Amino acid sequence: MSEREPIGVIGVGWVGLVTAAGFAELGHEVYARDILSEKIDALRRGEVPIHEPGLEELVAKNRDRLHFTTDMADVISNAQLLFCCVDTPPTYSGDADLSSVERVVEELGDSTDHALVMKSTVPVGTGRAIQRRRADVGYVACPEFLKEGAAVQDFMKPDRVVVGAGPESADFADRVENLYAQLGAPIVRTDVASAEMIKLASNAFLATKISFINEIANVSEELGADVEEVARGMGLDERIGPHFLRAGIGYGGSCFPKDVSALKQLAGNSGYHFQLLSSVIEVNELQKRRTIGKLQKHLGSLVDREIALLGLAFKPHTDDIREATALVLAHRLMGEGAAVRIYDPVALNNAGDMLAGATTCKSAEEALEGADAAVLVTEWPEFRELDWAGTVKDLMRNPLVVDGRNFLDDEALRAAGFTYEGIGRPAASAVEA
């Protein structure tokens, strides 16, 4: 089989579009299908509806090899390897909603020479269940490990590629391996259930590191230690490493909250209580709310206080606001009686009515004008470049900054007359507001 065989991609969301564009860049003809006709129409016009660095350029560069369609038959007739990239959101019970995956399986029809390559994050056991129902279709688990804001680079230079398959789908798994071989990444060949667990366990472990360093940050505040120095010293230990040791106001996004909860739920369904993940989730939720206490420490009651939130997206270089900390803060602040103004460079258009009651602004300066406090929620580079000592200080009613990502220059802000509160740094004394 040629290394440049055609590829099918089902679901052209964030993962699906990056996957489609990435394989096109590697020289494959890609047939990408989505049920939303407006999305497909936009992509055919060259419009990329997702903010992801480098993605728009990659799609434009490979337009001749990218074929966007709403018709499943177009994909099935042109490709045998069908990468399933549909959404699997959590249900009210905490389980993954697999209805979109089930719909894809049904749409395979009478196919007997295709393989479903599962990129969607699914519970352990999903592949086994699909194989029992459709023994005539190959099945390969190939979870994605893309980071929002760096997804194109992660596709082209992955840490590893996981390929899970049983003996009956070994030939299809070999073909999936061949697709990724030119990237030079380690390939983990394993069974389907282990491949499914690798994805959930990876995200759960990273979330655990974040919650752990946030707990250390909270203790450091009480004891006068600086979590930035603590994390630097910890990260030099090769057994620990420096990654995901940045203290802040909690993780968000489409992956960590969903996958941690899914693994906890999956363990519970099997009769095992995953106590550690219960604590990880609890710490993350409490961390988002500690900001309120920092503001009250300096301002007292928040009734009628003007609070500027800098950043809405759950992380910089993306417009994703799923499980975003800013949403929690905005509604908690409004619940305390504060007036909230919020600015984000790219994500505000995705908020819809989720920010009802808050004022969305066209610039950071507009959000900061007359503010009693500024809370840095998302570490967009432009926030560091603001003229804090001049323009910002003149705009604000009260020069109080809560740096939720330890992103700003605390020494420069204090020297300019700001009251600065970071995360896990020696606490500033309360001042009269």
pLDDT per residue as tens digits for the range 300-339? 999 999 999 999 999 999 999 999 999 999 999 999 999 9
Structure tokens at 1: 């089989």
> What distance in Å separates the CA atoms of residue 322 and residue 344, rounded to the nearest whole number?
14
Backbone angles phi, psi at 124, to 5 degrees: -60, 130
Gap between the Cα atoms of 348 and 337, Å rounded: 22
Phi-psi region of 423 (alpha: psi -120 to 50; beta: other; left: phi over 0): beta
The reported pLDDT for the residue numbered 428 is 55
* pLDDT for residue 214: 97
Tell the residue number behind the tokens 């309360």, with chain if given. Answer: 430
Instruction: Please list, in sequence order, all residues whose beta carbon lies within 8 angstroms of the beta carbon of residue 46, skipping any fewer than 6 positions away.
Output: 59, 60, 63
Q: Angle at the Cα of 20 (from 204 to 110), degrees rounded to 5?
A: 95
Cα–Cα distances in Å, from 24 out to 20, 78, 116, 186? 6, 14, 19, 21
pLDDT range class, residue 431, cuts 50, 70, 90: very low
- The catalytic residue among 84, 85, 142, 255 is 255
363: phi > 0 → left, psi -120 to 50 → alpha, else beta; which?
Answer: beta
| Per-residue pLDDT reduced to its tens digit, 86-108 | 999 888 777 889 999 999 999 99
Give per-residue burial for 302-333: e unless 16+ CB within 10 Å, then b.
Answer: beebbbbbbbbbbbbbbbbbbbbbbbbbbbbb
Please tell me which residue, 2 or 138, carries the higher pLDDT value.
138
pTM, entire model? 0.91
Q: What is the pLDDT of residues 395-406, one digit of tens each?
A: 999 999 999 999
pLDDT digits (tens, 9 = 90+) for 238-287: 999 999 999 999 999 888 999 999 999 999 999 999 999 999 999 999 99
Q: Order of strands across the sheet with 30-33? A: 66-69, 30-33, 7-10, 81-84, 115-118, 138-141, 161-164, 187-190
Those residues with Cβ within 8 angstroms of residue 137's Cβ, 6 or more apart along the chain or in another chain = 105, 108, 111, 112, 114, 115, 116, 130
Which residue type does 136 have? D
Is the CB of residue 208 less than 8 Å from the CB of residue 243?
no
Scan for tokens 């609070």, then name that residue: 307
Res 2: pLDDT: 43
pLDDT over 70, % of the chain: 98
The pLDDT of residue 427 is: 61
Distance separating alpha carbons of residues 294 and 255, to the nearest angstrom: 28
Q: Cα(140)–Cα(196) distance, rounded to whole angstroms?
A: 10
DSSP H or E segment with residue 107: helix 99-107
Cα(381)–Cα(379) distance, rounded to whole angstroms?
Answer: 6
The model's pLDDT over 351-361, given as tens digits with 9 standing for 90+, comes to 989 999 999 99
pLDDT at residue 430 in the model: 42
pLDDT at position 150: 95
Q: Is 84 a catalytic residue?
A: no
More confident residue, 345 or 428: 345
pLDDT digits (tens, 9 = 90+) for 6-24: 999 999 999 999 999 999 9
Domains parsed from the chain with CATH numbers: 7-190 (3.40.50.720), 191-433 (3.40.50.720)
Question: Could you tell me which residues come within 8 angstroms of residue 95 by beta carbon, excluding any fewer than 6 positions away?
Answer: 123, 262, 265, 269
Which pLDDT score is estimated for 263? 94
Model pLDDT, residue 352: 87
Determine the Cα–Cα distance for residues 118 and 9; give it in Å rounded to an integer: 10
pLDDT value at position 94? Answer: 75
Distance of CA 13 to the CA centre of its chain: 13
Closest CA to 176 of 44, 54, 8: 8
Kindly state the average pLDDT of the residues 36-53. 95
**DSSP per-residue string spanning 46-100:** T---S--TTHHHHHHHTGGGEEEES-HHHHHHH-SEEEE-----B-TTSSB--HH
Q: Residue 189 above 50 pLDDT?
A: yes
Give the mean pLDDT of 36-61. 96
First to last CA, the chain: 71
Q: Please state, in angstroms and rounded to a whole number, the distance separating the CA atoms of residues 130 and 132.
A: 5
Backbone angles phi, psi at 136, to 5 degrees: -85, -10
Count how many residues are written for the chain: 433
Question: 């206080």: which residue's tokens?
Answer: 305
